[in-house]
Chains A and B, each alone.
Chain A
Amino acid sequence: MTLLSVDGIRKTFGGIVAVEDVSFDVDRNEIVGVIGPNGAGKSTTFRLLTGFHTPDAGTVEFDGEDVTDHSPDARARSGMIRTFQIAQELTGMPVMQNMLLAAQGHPGERAVTSALGIGGTSAFEADQRDRAEELLKLLELWELRDEYAGNLSGGQRKLLELGRSLMADPDLLLLDEPMAGVNPDLTDRLLERILELRDQRDMTFLFVEHDIDAVMRVADTVVGMHNGAVLSMGSPEEVQSDDRMLEAYLGGEV
């Protein structure tokens, strides 16, 4: 069953085509990897999916609803949560606050309820703390809960960002190059977690990734991009054996 449906999206910047007629579907409970060499249009596609860019043409449907013109925050509220290529933890806020920020539908986020502590704010907050505790323990960050996020190591930041995204309880998690700048040990742990989450929490993943090996290990479907267009699509094995893809990577690396 299709959760996310991308149909013919196109984006140009000052006359230069960045993404041209990109279409693909993501099914529920599926892991989809978007790969391609530098300049293939992966990042632009990612921004188009998450609402940080608006396409010139084409549509994006999520859960049966056309979200093409929705703002990033509206998309997030409907269940599409993204991460950032360079972990964007909020450095001046403690780890726990980073986690709690991601809670959706918090009644205390209205000025009045926040100031007066009414409208079920405290009960909701307590629930979220419990959830955050569980996730932080899972990610081995519990000991650091009161530390400012800016004081974490690079790997811990990646984990925090993953944890924060999970706090939002997304239907679809969009990951922007989650393996970039991560050591192999951590890559393994991240991939493990993703597979676990998919199975245990019935989640769907889409990630854009430069590191092909990582994609091949977990993805159900791979979308190969080159020069702003989809070049090849299918199972990891199919895409990996596609000569055009190989050529694109070689050409792109020069």
Chain B
Amino acid sequence: MALLDLFLVVGIIAGVYSLLAIGMNMHWGDTGLLNFAHAAFFAVGAYTSAILTTPTPEAGLLAERTVGFDLPVVVGIVAGTVLAAVLGFVIATTSVRLEGDYLAMVTLSSAELVRLVIHNEAWLTTGAQTLKNIPRPMESTVATLPVSYDVFYFLLVWALVGATYLLFERMSNGPFGRVLHAIRENDDVALALGKDVTQFKLKSFAIGAGVAGLAGTLWAHYVYAISPVMFLPSITFLIWAAVIIGGAGSYAGAIVGAVVIVFLRQVTRFIPGSVPFSDQMSYLRLMLVGVVLVAVLYYRPEGLLGNAERLQAGTSEGE
């Protein structure tokens, strides 16, 4: 049983990361947009939902937050998703018309600004202090069922991953995705064929950011408490690694990549503390992620589940 519990917790984290990777795949895999603000969308989803679903805390020495709404969790989840999408839209409007490098720099900087705001605007977010007592959805109902809460939440998260996967697969394989793919390959062609490229890019950015926001809400309602240190840029880079390893352009690949990354980190937890360099384990883990990322790009640029033939055809001109 206990091993199952561990599997459930790791599985829930993997599910949340999968949603993040699905959003990123819409940006990069489908549309070719360089998004480095994923941690910010994740954070906005988490904080929005947490603030909306908790009551205003009692005044205390540190409880500086002066807002709280105590709304149902489902409201928080929807609002967190929407607000993250809106933020994605706003960030993208500044630079989506320009070349990809600019978008990369702007998104990376914007994400840090978002974290700075969360950190400093304590009246809204509790600032550096932990925003606590976030309710878990349907906790009392689940308590009457013969399964543990983790089982319920695991199923909930993966049901949402499944639903999101199906929706995004259809979007990607439908006419909308076709335009995104065209934009990824060549903006000018899409323009010449009458596609409003900027609008499509903004939509893609907003939708992907929204899914990251959804992931944030699910995470917040699972871990009881959130703080700004949970949303460092390294999350964005890990999700990039997941998408590349899984295979850019493939939603199944995005999920597989996320699961691989999460389980890689968990497996190294079983290494006993007595082996050499165990104190450096967390750094070695991240170094390994760096090496794997570069190796995948070199040996298997299409990733685990990406489409090699497409990639081959796509670069046949040596461009």
Contact = CB atoms under 8 A, between A and B. Distances in A.
Direct A–B touching, Cβ under 8 Å: yes
Interface of A: 50, 52, 71-74, 76-77, 81-84, 88, 90-93, 97, 100-104, 106, 108-111, 113-117, 121, 125, 148-151, 164, 168
A168 B196 CA distance: 15
Contacts of B99: none
The B interface, classified by DSSP as helix, strand, loop or mixed, is helix
A91 B314 contact: yes
A114 B170 contact: yes
Nearest to A176: B192
Interface residues of B, number: 35
Contacts of B309: 148
Contacts of B188: 52, 72, 84, 88
Nearest to A170: B194
A109 B186 contact: no
Contact of B189 (A90, A108, A116): A90
Contacts of A111: 171, 176, 203, 207
Which of A90, A102, A116, A151 has most chain B Cβ within 10 Å? A90
Contact of A151 (B174, B181, B316): B316
Contacts of A71: 191, 196
Interface of B: 167-168, 170-171, 174-179, 181-182, 185-186, 188-197, 203, 207, 309-317
Contacts of A106: 175
Nearest to B168: A115
Contacts of A72: 188, 191-192
A149 B313 contact: yes
Nearest to A78: B194
A122 B221 CA distance: 39
Contacts of A93: 178, 181-182, 185, 310
Given A115-B167, A150-B316, A73 B194 contact: yes
B197 A73 contact: yes
Contact of A108 (B174, B197, B203, B317): B174
A82 to B, nearest CB: 5
A180 to B, nearest CB: 16
A52 B171 CA distance: 29
B143 to A, nearest CB: 35
A73 B191 contact: yes
A84 B193 CA distance: 11
A76 B311 contact: no
B178 A97 contact: yes
A151 B313 contact: yes
A101 B188 CA distance: 13
4 A-B pairs with least C-beta separation? A150-B313, A92-B314, A148-B313, A114-B176
Contact of A115 (B171, B189, B193, B194): B171
Interface centre among A81, A83, A101 (most CB of B within 10 A): A101
A188 to B, nearest CB: 26
Contact of A104 (B179, B182, B194): B194
Contacts of A117: 170, 174
A83 B191 CA distance: 11
B277 to A, nearest CB: 42
Contacts of B314: 91-92, 148, 150
Contact of B174 (A88, A102, A115): A115
Contacts of A148: 309-310, 312-314
Nearest to A168: B193
A113 B195 CA distance: 16
Contacts of A114: 170-171, 174-177
